[in-house]
Homo-oligomer: A and B are copies of this chain.
Amino acid sequence: MRRRPARFSLLLVFFAAIPATALASSDGHGFGYDVWLILAAMILAAKIGGEVAVRLNQPAVLGELCVGIVLGNLYLLGLDTFDGAAQLVPIEFLAELGVILLLFEVGLESTLSEMRAVAPTSGLVAIVGVIAPMALGYGVSLWLLPDEPFSLHLFIGATLCATSVGITARVLKDLDAMARPETRVILGAAVIDDVLGLIVLAVVASIAQFGEMPGPLDLTRIIGLAAGFLLGALLLGAYFMPSVFRVASKLRTQDVLAAVAIGLCLLLAGVSGAAGLAPIVGAFAAGLILDEVHVRPFGRKSAHDLTEIIGPIVAVMAPIFFVRTGMMVKLGGIGTESLLLAVALTIVAIVGKLVAGLGVRGKTADKLTVGIGMVPRGEVGLIFANVGVGIKLGGKPLIGAGVYAAIVLMVMASTVVTPPWLAQRIRQVMRKQPDVA
Residues of A within 8 A of B (CB): 1, 4-5, 7-8, 11, 22, 27-41, 43-44, 46-47, 50-51, 54-55, 60, 89-90, 92-94, 96-97, 100, 240, 243-244, 246-248, 250-256, 258-260, 262-267, 269-274, 279, 309-313, 315-316, 319, 383, 386
Listed by A's residue number, 7 A-B pairs whose Cβ atoms lie within 8 Å are A7-B244, A29-B96, A31-B93, A33-B272, A47-B263, A93-B93, A259-B316
Residues of B within 8 A of A51 (CB): 251-253, 256
Contacts of A256 in B (CB 8 A): 47, 51
What chain B residues lie within 8 Å of A243 (beta carbons)?
4, 7
Shortest Cβ distance from residue A86 to the other chain B in the assembled complex, whole angstroms: 12
Shortest beta-carbon distance from A320 to chain B in Å: 10
In the complex, A311→B256 CA distance in Å?
A: 11
Which residues does chain B contribute within 8 Å of A240, judged by CB atoms?
7
- Min CB gap A220→B, angstroms: 22
Contacts of A386 in B (CB 8 A): 28
- SS class, residues of chain A in contact with chain B: helix
Contact B43 A262 (CB under 8 A): yes
**Complex alpha-carbon distance, A39 and B383, angstroms:** 23
Cβ contacts under 8 Å, A94 to chain B: 93-94, 97
Q: Are A253 and B35 in contact (CB under 8 A)?
A: no
Assuming the contacts A247-B7, A247-B8, asked whether A269 and B36 have C-beta atoms less than 8 A apart, the reply is yes
User: Which of B29, B93, B244, B310 is within 8 Å of A8, CB to CB?
Assistant: B244
- For A248, the closest partner residue in chain B by CB is B47
In the complex, what residue of chain B is closest to A7 when comparing beta carbons? B243
Contact (Cβ within 8 A) A1 B40:
no
Q: Add 14 more A-B contacts to A90-B93, A255-B316, A259-B316 (CB < 8 A).
A: A4-B243, A30-B92, A33-B273, A36-B266, A37-B274, A39-B270, A43-B263, A47-B248, A47-B251, A51-B252, A90-B90, A258-B315, A309-B312, A312-B312
Residues of B within 8 A of A96 (CB): 29
For A319, the closest partner residue in chain B by CB is B259
Which of A92, A262, A272 is the most central at the interface, judged by chain B CB atoms within 10 Å of its CB?
Answer: A262
Q: Distance in Å from the Cβ of A133 to the closest Cβ of chain B?
A: 22
Closest chain B CB from A377 CB (angstroms): 16
In-complex Cβ contact of A274 among B28, B34, B263 (8 A): B34
Residues of B within 8 A of A41 (CB): 267
Residues from chain B with Cβ under 8 Å of A267 in the complex: 11, 36-37, 40-41, 44
| A270:B40 contact, CB within 8 angstroms | yes
Q: Are B266 and A37 in contact (CB under 8 A)?
A: yes
- The answer to whether B311 and A47 touch across the interface, beta carbons within 8 angstroms, is no
A38 to B22, CA, bound (A): 30
Does the CB pair A89–B31 fall under 8 Å? yes
Set of chain B residues within 8 Å of A255, measured between Cβ atoms = 311-312, 315-316
Which of the listed residues A8, A44, A60 has the most CB atoms from chain B within 10 Å of its own CB? A44
